[in-house]
Structure 1
Amino acid sequence: MLLVTVMAFLFNGCSIDDDGANFHFTALEIVEAEVPESFDLNETYKISVDYIKPDSCTYYEGFDVVKDSLTVRSVVAIGTVRTDFDDCTEELIQETASFNFQVIYDKPYTFKFYTGNNSDGEAEYMEIVVPVNKP
């Protein structure tokens, strides 16, 4: 019985002619971010972000929040683009998603939200500084 099971897996494996992935990741442009006017130390806050999907073949996956320094965070909305669809409608679709952020330092936080690339291909950001209230 074990031999039959092993043989079944061997003969039904993945094709070596597979073209590869049918998607790739992309950064989505952020158009608006809703953050509190101030933070309290050791509290958690919901941060809402409006982003743009460029077409119907792009799907939201989540956020990449990178700690650039002690209280500076770069935020990028991540999407996947399906490459195996031929009938994508090219229309800008604005959606909203959120993430939770925990305040662990008593210094002001700077959020850098990715808004796209400029004409030179360099990333541009919308910066929002949120002070932390003194206890």
Structure 2
Amino acid sequence: MKRLILLFVSALVLVSCNTDDGPSIAYDVALITDADLPEYFEKDETYEINADYTLNSACHKFVTFDSSQGRNEENDSIYEYNITVISSYDPALTECTVENDSLSRTSQLAKDFRVRSEDYTTYRFNFLSGFDSDDKPEYITIDVPVGEPEPETPEENTNA
């Protein structure tokens, strides 16, 4: 009887020590290839902003946009956004079985982006597009002025 109890307890301990908690999740950065921004912003109007990015593999899935924002340190009339795409994947997968024709995607960064203040003349968007040989981030930078830009006129010819 003691052996039977010992065998039962041993089996219970082995079963309860199973460490397989299912898939694990890791996060990665997807590189942005392009963005769709208006030519200029009007105060109190809403704008949809989309970004194109490339996932690292077919196993990666879009999670979210990550951003930091604030006044530009060199020019206080510029408000800056630094934007990165975060993706997820299961690092335990040794082979990806997801069928995928293309790793390029487009997602909506902002549905109702709105300029509410006249404190800034330009909104600068820095989209993470890669890393240089020293692993420093590289960005696609797009400046969007606030208010319709003045039309460019040719300089007057004073040599008449």
TM-score normalised by length of structure 1: 0.77
Structure 1 131/26 Cα, relative in aligned 2: closer, same or farther at 3 Å? same
Pick aligned residue for 2:93 from 75, 79, 85: 85
Is the counterpart of residue 94 in structure 1 residue 108 in structure 2?
no
Give the Cα separation in 1 of the matches to 2:70 and 2:130.
18
Residue of structure 2 equivalent to 1:11: none
Give the Cα separation in 1 of the matches to 2:23 and 2:136.
27
Structure 1 66/21 Cα, relative in aligned 2: closer, same or farther at 3 Å? farther
Alpha-carbon RMSD across the aligned residues, in angstroms, is 2.6
Pick aligned residue for 2:125 from 84, 94, 111: 111
Alignment of 1:1-135 (within 5 A): 17=19, 22-69=24-71, 71-88=79-96, 93-100=103-110, 101-106=113-118, 107=120, 108-133=122-147
SS in 1 for 2:88: strand
SS in 2 for 1:96: strand
- Specify the structure having the higher radius of gyration (Cα): 2
Q: By percentage of residues, which structure has more strand?
A: 1
Structure 1 39/26 Cα, relative in aligned 2: closer, same or farther at 3 Å? same
Contact 2:124 2:143 in 1 (8 A): yes
- Deviation of 1:99 (Å): 2.0
Structure 1 132/123 Cα, relative in aligned 2: closer, same or farther at 3 Å? same
Q: In the TM superposition, what whole-angstrom CA distance separates every residue of 1:75-110 from its partner, at most 9, and x where no partner exists?
A: 111111221222127x96100001222222332100
Q: Which amino acid aligns with 2:65?
A: F
Percent identical: 29
